[in-house]
Amino acid sequence: MKKFSIVIAGGGSTYTPGIVMMLMHSLDRFPIRSLKLYDNNPERQKVIADAVALAMKKVAPDVAFSYTTDPEEAFTDVDFCMAHIRSGGYPMREQDEKIPLSHGVVGQETCGPGGIAYGMRSIPDIMQLIDYMEKYSPNCWMLNYSNPASIVAEACRVLRPHAKIINICDMPVGTLRRMSYIVGKTPQDLDVRYFGLNHFGWWTSVKDKDGTDYTPQLIDYVSKNGYLTQKAIETQHMDASWQETHRKAADLLAVTPDCLPNTYLKYYLYPDYVVEHSDPNYTRANEVIDGREKNVFGAARAITASGEFKGDEFSIDNHASFIVDLARAIAYNTHERMLCIVENKGAISNFDPHAMVEVPCLVGNDGPEPLCQGEIPTFQLGMMNQQVAVEKLVVEAYCERSYQKMWQALTLSKTVPSAKVAKEILDDLIVANKDYWPELH
């Protein structure tokens, strides 16, 4: 039986230990011979890698483990690259969130001006990862979580149209788990129909394998509680701000009562509410720095200091299981049904065929094959046309180094009230991103 070789790009990510744990616990169904970590920040990666080395020595001593900042070493002889880099790190995420808020506009990692700013940083870094992969392991698949996934996916379509990269998001799998709690099933029992852009979509149907339709039951539940469930609170990491986001889905559903909304729609449908409930001096970046980053790096340092991995220091969640399931679906040509971000090509029949959309796909060794979701309603179509134009303008602005197109992108975002405010935010973002963005003219 073939054993696979994997590199995790963004080895120093807070999500790396969870993915490594998932890989170690999946060896019987997805055997691997080698695991490498790759990062461009040696100090950050070393903290995670030293702990992972001890964990692997204990759990999977036969799997070769190494870590490096050298692209050739990282990308040579690999079958899968699992990528989750953060260009500019948390300090730049903080700027993405705080600059728009200082103008009274939503400050978010992937939505609105913050997502646009992050997109301009991520594009060159992801293209570089693809180039390393294609140079050193041309048959490798890149499974990419790096955000903002919608802008990154559009940049891949335009700049590396033949690359073996699949852009993915953990939000739909996390929400499916919550849905399964609500209807008393497991996520594996349920098949969904879903359409949208990344962080911008709707479920139209949730059924079990016998065809029993749980959509009306879910609509009833979500209209009262959002996606908040007691079991999710007890079993999943859930900061208060995430709980509030899941609860807010009730107000999103009120706008489209037949379709179950992605929680990220709150930034577009209720931007005034989001701004009112944001602290411009302490945003989600600060919560993550003081929470997840401290916890994961603290646990890693404690393992290394004690010289021993006990077994329960790192947890496995949806995020880790989805990317491993995806790799396995490609490796064994399973044709499992999974949501991926792919070129539309008619999957949403009344929407731009060249838009990068998030829809259910059958995944096998040729990658994802999108399933037709048919025509979508006028309201969602209107919102998606506006948002996809924002995403396309960002990629055009990057390619053409165009200030004008960046201004248009910000102006068109549903989160921004006027061209005047868009320009003020853009000028601040340009200063903050001077070490990352190309010069715009």
Beta strands per DSSP E along 300-353: 336-343
Residue of minimal CB distance from ligand NAD?
12
**Dihedral sign of CA atoms 249, 346, 117, 105 in order:** negative
Q: Give the DSSP letter of residue 438.
A: P
> Is residue 416 within 8 Å of 422, Cβ to Cβ?
yes
Which entry of 145, 264, 267, 268 is annotated as an active-site residue? 264
Residue 242 binds which entry of Mn ion, ligand LEZUNG72, ligand NAD, none, with Cβ cut-offs from 5 to 8 Å by kind? ligand LEZUNG72
**Dihedral sign of CA atoms 339, 345, 347, 349 in order:** positive
Per the structure block, which two tokens stand in for 266? Answer: 């709150």
Which entry of 50, 170, 251, 352 is annotated as an active-site residue? 170
Cβ nearer to ligand NAD, comparing 249 with 422: 249
Q: How far is CA 381 from CA 143, 196, 201, 386, in A?
A: 28, 9, 10, 9
Residue 236 binds which entry of ligand LEZUNG72, ligand NAD, Mn ion, none, with Cβ cut-offs from 5 to 8 Å by kind? ligand LEZUNG72
Torsional class of 346: left (φ above 0), alpha (ψ -120 to 50), beta (otherwise): left
By CB under 6 A, name the one of 27, 33, 34, 44 that touches ligand NAD. 44
Cβ nearer to ligand LEZUNG72, comparing 185 with 423: 185
Strand bridging mode 80-83 / 200-208:
unpaired
Residue 96 binds which entry of ligand NAD, Mn ion, ligand LEZUNG72, none, with Cβ cut-offs from 5 to 8 Å by kind? none
Q: x/- site string to ligand LEZUNG72, residues 238 to 257, per CB under 6 A? A: ----x---------------
Cβ nearer to Mn ion, comparing 110 with 344: 110
User: By C-alpha distance, which of 144, 173, 179, 227 is closest to 338?
Assistant: 173
Q: Which stretch binds Mn ion (CB under 5 A): 60-68, 163-171, 316-324, 426-434?
A: 163-171
Q: Which stretch binds Mn ion (CB under 5 A): 33-41, 161-169, 399-407, 412-420?
A: 161-169
Residue with tokens 């889905």: 249
First and final C-alpha spacing in the chain: 55
| Active site (annotated) includes residue 264 | yes
Q: Report the alpha-carbon distance of residue 372 to residue 395 in Å, rounded.
A: 26
By CB under 6 A, name the one of 217, 236, 286, 315 that touches ligand LEZUNG72. 236
By CB under 6 A, name the one of 9, 120, 329, 363 that touches ligand NAD. 9
Whether cis (ω within 30° of 0) applies to the bond prior to 124 is no
| Active site (annotated) includes residue 39 | no
Q: Which stretch binds ligand NAD (CB under 6 A): 142-150, 330-338, 365-373, 426-434?
A: 142-150
Strand-by-strand arrangement of the 356-364 sheet: 64-68, 32-38, 4-9, 80-83, 141-144, 165-167, 336-343, 356-364, 367-370
Q: Give the DSSP letter of residue 372.
A: P
Strand bridging mode 32-38 / 64-68:
parallel
Q: x/- site string to ligand NAD, residues 56 to 95, per CB under 6 A? A: ----------------------------xxxx-xx-----
Cβ nearer to ligand NAD, comparing 21 with 422: 21
Q: Between residue 11 and residue 40, which ones bind ligand NAD under the rule CB under 6 A? A: 12-15, 39-40
By CB under 6 A, name the one of 149, 249, 393, 406 that touches ligand NAD. 149
Residues that bind ligand LEZUNG72 (CB under 6 A): 109-110, 147, 169-171, 174, 236, 242, 284, 288
Query: Could you list the active site residues?
Result: 170, 264
Residues that bind ligand NAD (CB under 6 A): 9-10, 12-15, 39-41, 44, 84-87, 89-90, 125, 145-147, 149, 169-171, 319
